[in-house]
Amino acid sequence: MVDKGWLTVSGIGRRSIESLLRLGFAARFLGLTLVQSLTCLRRPRLVVREVYFSGVLSLVIILVSGLFVGMVLGLQGYQTLRTYGSESALGVLVALSLLRELGPVITALLFASRAGSAVTAEIGLMKATEQLRAMEMMAVDPIARVVAPRFWAGVISTPLLTAMFTAMGIYGGYLVGVVLLGVDEGSFWSQMQNSVDFREDVVNGLIKSLVFGVAISWIAVFEGYDAPPTAEGVSGATTRTVVTSALTILFLDYILTSLMFRGL
Amino acid sequence: MERSSLDVWVGIFVVGGMVALLILALKVGNAGDLLRAGPTYTLTASFENIGGLKPKAPVRSAGVVVGRVGSIDYDPETFNAVVKLHIEQRYNRFPRDTFASIYTSGLLGEQYIGLAPGGDEKLLADGDRISKTQKAVVLEDLIGQFLTSRAGEPAGK
């Protein structure tokens, strides 16, 4: 479908109305998913299976990325802090940047591209091959049976993956800073513990990752459910999941940061 | 509905996440202090200048952390900073003439309150005010004093 006059007034209007329609449908879809989530409580195996595919299979990429992000932070932080003779603050730098920003954001970006796109493709293909309609014919609600478990699996997995990413990153910073570059081990940990606040830093980071998890899962299941039932449609939906998730995560991150860390 | 290796992996995943969270809370953060913190009692002290002292800064005596700074307020009557100190209950034997000063750990490190016990028989109790205090050393004042004292000396020295 090549529409020629996309710059004309009517074209712009049509596009705006279309995006509004999609947004409204997405909101209604989220509501419907939440209502149908009772099935997940009755049949937790459905969620467990999806946590395996979304969460457990993302472990390797999350842990390896976490390690390397932490190592790079350690290296770069050391070079800069050495100029001021305060290498011992390296632990603080690594821990705070990972806990507050890099942990939640990079985990969410990786999770959206690794698991979110897969969920979209799976649901889109189910729709294209009319499996969803077949379920409806058998009086099985596809939202309860297919969409809700994948949604909740994403919401559960993201904070857990973020915690593992951050812990791995701090270990990476420790490896480079203390083992490789010879920062004093005692001051590395003690300055970190003095500056990192459990409520302000650890819990706020987890809240961030939970919000990102909801956003990614919502976008992923909605794009899959809304995909045009063709091969082209599914591929477009998968791309849109990754792009929309990335933009949403970064936008939400700014909003959340300005709300959480205002007084610090 | 039978159990499968899938359940095991999800179990390992959830446990791994919890362990990571526990590491972040106890090894990286200060949740360990919150758990360990016993009952405290409160002392107040007013300082002429607190420098860069922040809430939750340590209160040390002989170098040992005996409590934390609670809140910091400004008293518009005396123009002094009023600092509340939360001292652990097991260290409740500070004499009435204990001296509270603000120190800096290292050259530019964080600031803390040091308590130097005096020789009074009577002890400080919950809610008491420490009357002997010394304000923080402000680097700019120090440089200013140094320059004024140098100005009086003959040139070329």
The ipTM estimated for the assembled molecules is 0.78
| B2/A43 Cα distance (integer angstroms) | 13
CB neighbours of residue A23 within 10 Å: 10
Backbone angles phi and psi of A92, in degrees to 5: -60, -45
Residue B33 banded pLDDT, cuts 50, 70, 90:
low
Residue B5 banded pLDDT, cuts 50, 70, 90:
confident
Whether residues B17 and A45 touch (CB distance < 8 A) is answered with no
**Count of domains in chain A?**
1
Phi-psi region of B109 (alpha: psi -120 to 50; beta: other; left: phi over 0): beta
Question: One-letter amino acid identity for B131?
Answer: S
Whether residues B9 and A52 touch (CB distance < 8 A) is answered with yes
Taking contacts as CB-CB distances below 8 angstroms, the residues of chain A near B25 are 198, 202
Q: List the helix and strand counts (H, then E) for chain B.
A: 3, 8
Taking contacts as CB-CB distances below 8 angstroms, the residues of chain A near B60 are none
A173 touches chain B (CB under 8 A): no
CA distance A71 to chain B (A): 16
Parse chain B into domains and list their residue ranges.
1-36, 39-145
| A37/A75 Cα distance (integer angstroms) | 45
| A156/B114 Cα distance (integer angstroms) | 46
Instruction: Give residue A194's domain range.
Output: 10-260
Q: What is the pLDDT of residues B44-100, one digit of tens each?
A: 988 888 888 887 788 888 888 888 888 889 989 989 899 998 888 888 888 888 889
- Chain A's closest residue to B109, CA to CA, is A86
pLDDT the model gives residue B96: 87
Taking contacts as CB-CB distances below 8 angstroms, the residues of chain A near B37 are none
Closest CA to B15 of A105, A164, A43: A164
Q: How far is CA A139 from the centre of its chain?
A: 33
A60 touches chain B (CB under 8 A): no
Tokens 């493709």 -> residue? A121
Taking contacts as CB-CB distances below 8 angstroms, the residues of chain A near B12 are 56
pLDDT the model gives residue B37: 66
B13 touches chain A (CB under 8 A): yes
Q: Can you list the alpha helix ranges (DSSP code H) found in A38-147?
A: 38-42, 44-54, 59-83, 90-97, 103-111, 117-128, 131-137, 142
In this prediction, what percent of chain B has a pLDDT beyond 70?
89
pLDDT the model gives residue B1: 47
SS3 state of residue B91 = coil
| A77/A71 Cα distance (integer angstroms) | 10
Residue A3 belongs to some domain of the structure: no
Nearest to B29 among A86, A164, A196 (CB): A196
User: Are the beta carbons of A206 and A163 closer than 8 angstroms?
Assistant: yes
Residue A4 belongs to some domain of the structure: no
User: Are the beta carbons of B45 and A209 closer than 8 angstroms?
Assistant: no
Give me the tens of pLDDT residue by residue for chain A, a chain 264 residues long: 555 666 788 888 888 999 899 999 999 999 999 998 888 888 888 889 999 999 999 999 999 999 999 999 999 999 998 888 788 889 999 999 999 999 999 999 999 999 999 999 999 999 999 998 999 899 888 888 899 999 999 999 999 999 999 999 999 999 999 999 988 888 888 888 878 888 888 999 999 999 999 999 999 999 999 999 999 999 999 999 999 999 999 999 999 999 988 755
Residue A1 belongs to some domain of the structure: no
Phi-psi region of A130 (alpha: psi -120 to 50; beta: other; left: phi over 0): left
CA distance B143 to chain A (A): 20
CA distance B157 to chain A (A): 31
- Chain A's closest residue to B8, CA to CA, is A52
Q: Is the dihedral of CA A56, A59, A60, A61 positive or negative?
A: positive
B24 touches chain A (CB under 8 A): yes
pLDDT the model gives residue B146: 86
Residue B106 banded pLDDT, cuts 50, 70, 90:
low
Q: Between these two residues, B28 and B115, which has the higher pLDDT value?
A: B115
